[in-house]
Amino acid sequence: MSDIFSKNNLLFILDGLKLTVFLSVATILLSLFFGTLFAIIRNYAKDKLLPLAKLTGAYIEFFRCTPNILWIFFFRFIIPGNVIAKEIFAFTLFTSAIMAEIIRGGLNGIQKGQFEAAESQGFPFFKTMLYVILPQTYKQIIPSVLSQMITVIKDTAYLKAVDIAELSRNTDIVMGKAITAAEIMSLFALLAAIYFVICFILSVSVRTYQKKVMAAG
């Protein structure tokens, strides 16, 4: 029992946790950026740019209707290069589609008067977005983005299928050294507990934030 929780094993699991956190944060930040871009294109591209809006819409719908694990495998084999970079790409492509819809929901919730007011002040489209619309949108979608963050953290566990040294893959390897059922069970408990603590803190903050917003009216 004490062997399996040796310092080396624990440090190895901790290394996995670090990579899990890095992958999740990178994915969320990149998806926020690209999701914003896609949401704006899908919502506001008109006339000559209409085909672009349609194309973005098709991308969003297709990725929303396919599992993340599919893209994890696909990009693992299709493109050359660093495995971690490839998987961040796969995760970003998948999460950006969902993020775009979250952001679009936020954009549609902004009152029309905000656009008109910015326009009347001579703001061009780009500046209206950057200074008037997006700040309000982001504030509204904080809970949804945090929920998505939970999903991304949980989904990184899929990456053990392509042998990326994240939390569950590293714990798997330690499990391979375990002998007794008690050891296996304690490792499962540890693994679940680590994910739980991170995700639970995030979900509690989602709810606290929502209550605060609701109380403020």
Partner 1 sequence: MSKLFDARRWLRLIGDFDQFLLGMKTTLLVALLGLLIALGLGLILGILSCVKLYGFRLLARIYVEFFQNTPLVVQVFFYSFGLPFLGIRLPDFMVGVVGVGLYHAAYIAEVIRSGIEAVAKGQVEAAKSQGFHSMQTMRYIILPQSLKVILPPLTNQAMNLVKNTSVLSMIAGMDIMYYAKSWAGNNGFFYQGYLTAGLLYFLLCFPLARLTAKLENKARQLPTVTTLRMMEVDS
Min dist CB 92 to partner 1, Å, is 17
Min dist CB 143 to partner 1, Å, is 5
> How far is residue 182's CA from residue 190's CA, in Å, rounded to a whole number?
12
Catalog residues that contact partner 1 under the rule CB under 8 A.
61-62, 64-70, 73-74, 77-78, 102, 105, 141, 143-144, 147-148, 150-151, 153-158, 160-161, 168, 172, 175, 181, 184-185, 188, 191-192, 195-196, 199-200, 203, 206, 210
8 A C-beta contact, residue 55 and residue 97? no
Q: Rank residues 11 and 184 by Cβ distance to partner 1 and give the closer one.
A: 184
Q: Rank residues 123 and 154 by Cβ distance to partner 1 and give the closer one.
A: 154
Q: Rank residues 79 and 85 by Cβ distance to partner 1 and give the closer one.
A: 79
8 A C-beta contact, residue 5 and residue 186? yes
8 A C-beta contact, residue 166 and residue 23? yes
Q: What angle do CA 73, 11, 181 make, to 5 degrees?
A: 80
Question: CB 81: neighbour CB atoms within 10 A?
Answer: 9
> How far is residue 57's CA from residue 43's CA, in Å, rounded to a whole number?
9
Question: CB 139: neighbour CB atoms within 10 A?
Answer: 10
Min dist CB 74 to partner 1, Å, is 4
Tokens linked to 208: 């606290």
Min dist CB 32 to partner 1, Å, is 15
Min dist CB 125 to partner 1, Å, is 26
Q: Rank residues 30 and 187 by Cβ distance to partner 1 and give the closer one.
A: 187
8 A C-beta contact, residue 21 and residue 201? no
Min dist CB 121 to partner 1, Å, is 31
Q: Rank residues 33 and 196 by Cβ distance to partner 1 and give the closer one.
A: 196
Q: Rank residues 122 and 216 by Cβ distance to partner 1 and give the closer one.
A: 216
User: Which among 195, 208, 209, 197 has a CA at the least distance from the CA of 152?
Assistant: 195
8 A C-beta contact, residue 38 and residue 100? yes
